[in-house]
C-alpha cells in the first residue's frame, strides 16, 4: 500500500490543493470493481449538480464519514477514506485497519475537520486494501460541495437588533384600503457571501414569500401583493423580516431586523389578543417571564361577544431559523364585555427565543355573523436561542453504565416544533485515534406514538454499547430531516451532548 507526499493535480475544478495530508498513489486497474458510495450523516442530497452538500454545522464537532460494509471483510483489511485528485491519487482523510471481530460490523466511521475539507468541490471516496495487500477496490465517488460561509457573513453590529448586513426597506409601512391594491415592494440590498442559488425568505406576518436572490451586485426585490396583504390580515404592528438560506442549508445568522407595519383593511375587526406582563409592548422578555406561561387577554364589546360564544385563539410560534408551530386555544365567554385569558406554555415561548410569536382569534358565534376575525398582534421574543436538550439514559442518573445491561432505554426530550415525520438520529460517538471514530447511530422517524410534550424513547442494545467499553463517548441526537425548516444549524439540528462512561 504505497504512500507518499505528492503535489496533487486538481480533479475537480474548485477543489483546493492538499499540502498537509498524505496522498495515496494507486496502480490503475483495468476493470475496477466499484464499492458503494460512502455516506455523510446530515448531508443534503443533490446540491448544485453534485451528489451531496455539506453545511457549516456538520463541522462544529467534527464531520463524520460513514463507510457501509458492502464487501466480504476480513481482519487486516485496510480502509482508507479521502478524496480524488486524479484517477489514481487520493488525498487521505483517515485510515483504519480492521481488528479481529470488526469484520462483522455494518459500518465504519471516520472524522474530518474543516481544515481537511476547506470549502470547495470534492470527489469523496474510500478504498479497501484486502488484508493489507496490494489488491484493492475503490468506491464510486460521492461528488460533494462543501460550503460553510453563511449568507450575509458576520453580523458586525451586535448591539442593534437584526443582521447588520441584511439591509431591508419597504415602499409602504402604513397600509390602508387606499394604497393596499398597489401592494408593497420589499427591497434587500446586496449582501456579503452572495451565491446565485441563495433563497431569500420574506416573512410578512404569517405569509411567507420565497424568492431566488438577485445578482451579487443587484438588490433583490420582492413584491407583496394585495392578496398577500389580505392573507396576512390586519395588525397595528405586523412583523416583517427576512432571512437568507443557501443551497446547502446555511442560514443568515441572525435574520434581518424586524420592521413594524400597520395594516388596517377592515375597520370593524376587533383588536387581537394582548400579551400581559411579558415585557414592553411588542416584546416578550424571557428573563421577565421567568419560565412561567405567558398570559393572553381577549376582549370584545358585550354586543359582539355573547355568553357561551368561543374565542378560537391562534398562536403562531416562529423560531428564529424558520418554520412555524401553530397552537389553538379555545376560550368560552362566561361574562360578555369582560377580559378573558388563556396561556402560552413556556416551552413554546422558549422555542421562539430571538424569533416571534403572532396571536389572533376567531370569535365563533351562535348568531350571524358566525365568525368574527380579530386583528393580529406580534411580539418579538428576547432571549438566547433554545438549544435542543441532551438525551438521557433511564436508570443511570450519573451517566455511568457499568452493569453490562442487555439494553438501555434512552429518552429524547420533547422540542416544541417536533413533527411525526421528523427523522431523528441517536448517536454515541468517540474519536479513538486520529480520524478513527467509534460510532453508533440509529435514525428513525418520530412516528405517531409519542404525544406532544412526551419524550421519544429508543433502545440501545448490549452489542452496540460494548464497542464503547472503557471509553467515554459523547451521547446526543440530531434532527436529520424535518418539514419544519430548510435551515441547517447546530443550534437547530443538534442537541447538547452528554458524556457517558461505559465500563
223: cell is 413584491
Q: How confident is the model over 57-113, as pLDDT tens digits?
A: 999 988 999 999 999 999 999 999 999 998 889 999 999 999 999 999 999 999 999
Sign (positive or negative) of CA dihedral 285, 287, 293, 299:
negative
**Are the CB atoms for 198 and 229 separated by under 8 Å?**
no
pLDDT of residue 487: 87
Topology alike, domains 3-146 and 392-502: yes
pLDDT of residue 411: 97
DSSP state of 227: H
Domain ranges for the chain: 3-146, 149-267, 269-386, 392-502
CA distance 344 to 284: 12
CA distance 59 to 420: 27
Global pTM value: 0.86
pLDDT of residue 21: 67
pLDDT of residue 1: 39
- What is the distance of C-alpha 401 from the center of its chain? 31
Determine the topology of domain 392-502 in CATH.
Answer: Immunoglobulin-like (2.60.40)
Let me know if domain 269-386 sits in CATH 2.60.40.10. yes
pLDDT of residue 428: 96
DSSP state of 104: G
CATH number of the structural domain 149-267:
2.60.40.10
Determine the topology of domain 3-146 in CATH.
Answer: Immunoglobulin-like (2.60.40)
State the 10-residue block means of pLDDT for the chain, 503 residues long: 34 34 82 90 93 95 93 96 91 94 94 94 96 93 97 92 96 97 98 96 95 94 98 95 96 94 95 94 93 96 96 94 90 97 95 94 96 96 89 96 95 92 95 84 95 95 94 95 86 92 95
Q: CA Rg, the chain, in Å?
A: 27
Amino acid at each position: 500500500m504505497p504512500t507518499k507526499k505528492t503535489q496533487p493535480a486538481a480533479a475537480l475544478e474548485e477543489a483546493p490543493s492538499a499540502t498537509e495530508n498524505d496522498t495515496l498513489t494507486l496502480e490503475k486497474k483495468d476493470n475496477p470493481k466499484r464499492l458503494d458510495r460512502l455516506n455523510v450523516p446530515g448531508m443534503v442530497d443533490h446540491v448544485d449538480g453534485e451528489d451531496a452538500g455539506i453545511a457549516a454545522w456538520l463541522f462544529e464537532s467534527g464531520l463524520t464519514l460513514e463507510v457501509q460494509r458492502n464487501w466480504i471483510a476480513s481482519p487486516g483489511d485496510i480502509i482508507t477514506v479521502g478524496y480524488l485528485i486524479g484517477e489514481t491519487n487520493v488525498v487521505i482523510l483517515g485510515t483504519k485497519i480492521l481488528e479481529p471481530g470488526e469484520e462483522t460490523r455494518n459500518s465504519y466511521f471516520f472524522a474530518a475537520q474543516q481544515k481537511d475539507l476547506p470549502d470547495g468541490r470534492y470527489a469523496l471516496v474510500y478504498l479497501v486494501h484486502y488484508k493489507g495487500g496490494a489488491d484493492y477496490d475503490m468506491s464510486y465517488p460521492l461528488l460533494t460541495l462543501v460550503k460553510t460561509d453563511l449568507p450575509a457573513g458576520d453580523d458586525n453590529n451586535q448591539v442593534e437588533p437584526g443582521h447588520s448586513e441584511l439591509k431591508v426597506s419597504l415602499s409602504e409601512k402604513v397600509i390602508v384600503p387606499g394604497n393596499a391594491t398597489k401592494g408593497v415592494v420589499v427591497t434587500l440590498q446586496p449582501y456579503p457571501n452572495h451565491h446565485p442559488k441563495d433563497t431569500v425568505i420574506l416573512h410578512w406576518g404569517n405569509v411567507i414569500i420565497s424568492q431566488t436572490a438577485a445578482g451579487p451586485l443587484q438588490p433583490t426585490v420582492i413584491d407583496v401583493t394585495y392578496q398577500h396583504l389580505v392573507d396576512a390580515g390586519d395588525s397595528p404592528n405586523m412583523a416583517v423580516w427576512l432571512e437568507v438560506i443557501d443551497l446547502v442549508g446555511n442560514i443568515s445568522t441572525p435574520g434581518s431586523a424586524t420592521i413594524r407595519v400597520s395594516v388596517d383593511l377592515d375597520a370593524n375587526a376587533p383588536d387581537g389578543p394582548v400579551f400581559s406582563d411579558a415585557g414592553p409592548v411588542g416584546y416578550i422578555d424571557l428573563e421577565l417571564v421567568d419560565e412561567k406561561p405567558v398570559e393572553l387577554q381577549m376582549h370584545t364589546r358585550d354586543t359582539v361577544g355573547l355568553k357561551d360564544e368561543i374565542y378560537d385563539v391562534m398562536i403562531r410560534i416562529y423560531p428564529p431559523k424558520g418554520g412555524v408551530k401553530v397552537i389553538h386555544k379555545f376560550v368560552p365567554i362566561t361574562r360578555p364585555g369582560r377580559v378573558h385569558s388563556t396561556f402560552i406554555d413556556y416551552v413554546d415561548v422558549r422555542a421562539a427565543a430571538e424569533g416571534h410569536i403572532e396571536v389572533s382569534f376567531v370569535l365563533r358565534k351562535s348568531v350571524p355573523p358566525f365568525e368574527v376575525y380579530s386583528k393580529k398582534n406580534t411580539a418579538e421574543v428576547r432571549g438566547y436561542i433554545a438549544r435542543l436538550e441532551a438525551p438521557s439514559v433511564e436508570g443511570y442518573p450519573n451517566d455511568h453504565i457499568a452493569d453490562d445491561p442487555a439494553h438501555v432505554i434512552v429518552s429524547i426530550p420533547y422540542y416544541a416544533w417536533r413533527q411525526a415525520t421528523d427523522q431523528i438520529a441517536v448517536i454515541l460517538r468517540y474519536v479513538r485515534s486520529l480520524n478513527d471514530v467509534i460510532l453508533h447511530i440509529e435514525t428513525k422517524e418520530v412516528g405517531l406514538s409519542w404525544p406532544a410534550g412526551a419524550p421519544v424513547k429508543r433502545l440501545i442494545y448490549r452489542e452496540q454499547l460494548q464497542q464503547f467499553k472503557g471509553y467515554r463517548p459523547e451521547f446526543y441526537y440530531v434532527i436529520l430531516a424535518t418539514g419544519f425548516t430548510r435551515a441547517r444549524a447546530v443550534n437547530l439540528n443538534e442537541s447538547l451532548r452528554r458524556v457517558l462512561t461505559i465500563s
